[in-house]
Structures are given as C-alpha cells and as structure tokens.
Amino acid sequence: MHRFFTSEKNISKNKITLYGEDVDHIRKVLRCRAGDAVVISDGRDYEYNCTISSIDKKEVICEINEKRPNVTEAEIKIHLYQGIPKAAKMDLIIQKCTELGVHSITPVNMDRAVVKFDNKENDNKLTRWRRIAEEAAKQSCRGRIPHIFEPMDFDDVLNDIKDYDMAIMPYEREDKLGLKHILNDEKACKDIAVIIGPEGGFSDKEVIKANEAGIVTVTLGPRILRTETAGFTCLAILMYELGDMGGE
C-alpha cells in the first residue's frame, strides 16, 4: 500500500488533504484513482488508513478509515554526524541509515574532508538529501522522516553532543575499546550520537578534541570500513543491541 507523509494541519476529523509533489506523484506516477487505499503518517505519533475520495491538479482528498499509533519507530534515538564524503556517497548513507531507523543526520565539515560546500550548493544538496530521506522512510514504512540538518563544523559538533546520553566515534587507530564492550555497560542509553569520519579519517587534532569533549573512540573490529559503510554498520549494531532490530 502506498505511503505518504503530511503535517498535522492537513488532518481533520474525517479526512486528510495532500498537496504539492505528492499530488503529482499520485496522479502521474502511481496513477491512483478514487477508491484506492493509502497510508498517511503525520510524521510523529500516528498513521491513518485512508481511501482516496477525490483527485485534482492541486490536491488529493482522502477519507480516514482508521487511526492508529505508529509502531515502527524505536525508542532509542541515534543521531549520525557524518564527515562529508565525495560524490554520491552521502545519498547512500542517508538512504540506508533512514531504513535502519536513524533519528537525524548532520553532515560535518572535517579537516580531511575533500568536499566543501558554498551556500547555493548546500541548498541544492539539502533538498536532494531530504527527498532521499523521505522516499526511504516511505519505502521502509517508517512513522517519521529523519531530520537532515545543515552542515556544521567539527567544533560545533562538540557542543551539539553535550545533551546526549552517549557519544561514540569509530576510529581506525583505536585497538582496545570495542563497541561491544561499551554497549554492555550502556543498556539504558536512549539518545546516542555517532560521529563518522570522511574518506581520509579523523585528524589527530579532531581525535584529541573529541576525547576532551567526552566522546568515546571505539573500534568496530580489525577491518577498516569505508566512510559510507561505517555509519550504517554502527547504526545496525546499536539498533540490534539497544533498539528494536531483531524483534523481541
């Protein structure tokens, strides 16, 4: 069944109205008709089983058949701070981390990151990344779309992570403290930051600053993972150990 997201302001007692790109997608791509069933999420706590009652060029009106709590969001909230990679790697990272249940993703300018954005390019990339997150959230039946924040500098990340229960940073030169060991002692954590380096890894200066800020450097094992692999590998482990991956 096709899934859509809308804001609470578009939801009334008995109907939901969709606007914008969703209308074009329903009309021209999916070729839905009145009477077709869809699922619409408010992006927060609830989703609605609906039947399309009318379609025109500006809006799609859906009758609500059932309202139910969303059950696809984990209690744990994982916030990914991703060193900005080259080419289309960020697209893959956002897509797969959304499928795995990430709460938010923030691109980070780091010392060894090759890619640097200007403001105009930022806007274009953010628009595309947010669209990728929305499509991945629909495909994976999530109840909310992860926040894709504007890029920030590494020093700003150090301030941003202060309110989290735990902040971890997979680091290829860490050979003593493993993620498995950390999780054995931190089962109660519900708000976790994960910082991933770009292709060139973290600079020595960044590692020192991270340790001083209370970020824990961990190893993910004896093999070096690419930047586009490390984030969702770490996320999958956290979701399995602390979240809802793997079932009860």
> pLDDT tens-digit profile of 76-92?
999 999 999 987 899 99
pLDDT exceeds cutoff 80 at 239: yes
- What contacts 43, CB < 8 A, 6 or more positions away? 5, 6, 7, 143, 144, 145
Task: Note whether 84 and 110 are within 8 A (CB).
Answer: yes
Residue 37: which of 11, 81, 3 has the closest Cα?
3
**Is residue 45 classed as helix, strand or coil in its secondary structure?**
coil
pLDDT exceeds cutoff 80 at 57: yes
- Would you report the helix, strand and coil content of the chain in percent, each value rounded to 5? 35, 30, 35
pLDDT exceeds cutoff 90 at 235: yes
Question: What's the pLDDT score for residue 1?
Answer: 82
pLDDT per residue as tens digits for the range 18-49: 999 999 999 999 999 999 999 999 998 899 99
**Is residue 55 classed as helix, strand or coil in its secondary structure?**
strand
Vertex 235 angle, CA 229 and 236, to 5°: 90
- Domain spanning 2-69: CATH superfamily: Hypothetical PUA domain-like; domain 1 (2.40.240.20)
User: What Cα–Cα distance (Å) separates residue 46 from each residue in 51, 176, 203, 213?
Assistant: 17, 43, 43, 37
pLDDT per residue as tens digits for the range 146-205: 999 999 999 999 999 988 999 999 998 888 888 888 877 666 788 999 999 999 999 999
Question: What's the pLDDT score for residue 137?
Answer: 95
Per-residue confidence band for 121, with pLDDT thresholds at 50, 70 and 90 = low
Question: What's the pLDDT score for residue 247?
Answer: 65
**Chosen CATH of 77-242 out of 3.10.129.10, 3.40.50.880, 1.10.1060.10, 3.40.1280.10:** 3.40.1280.10
Measured between its terminal Cα atoms, the distance across the chain in Å is 26
Per-residue confidence band for 119, with pLDDT thresholds at 50, 70 and 90 = low
For the chain, domain boundaries? 2-69, 77-242
Question: What's the pLDDT score for residue 120?
Answer: 60
Mean pLDDT of the chain: 91
Question: What's the pLDDT score for residue 177?
Answer: 82
Question: Distance between CA 52 and CA 219 in Å, rounded?
Answer: 50
Looking at 8-153, list the stretches that DSSP marks H as alpha helix, in order from N- to C-terminal side.
21-24, 89-100, 119-139
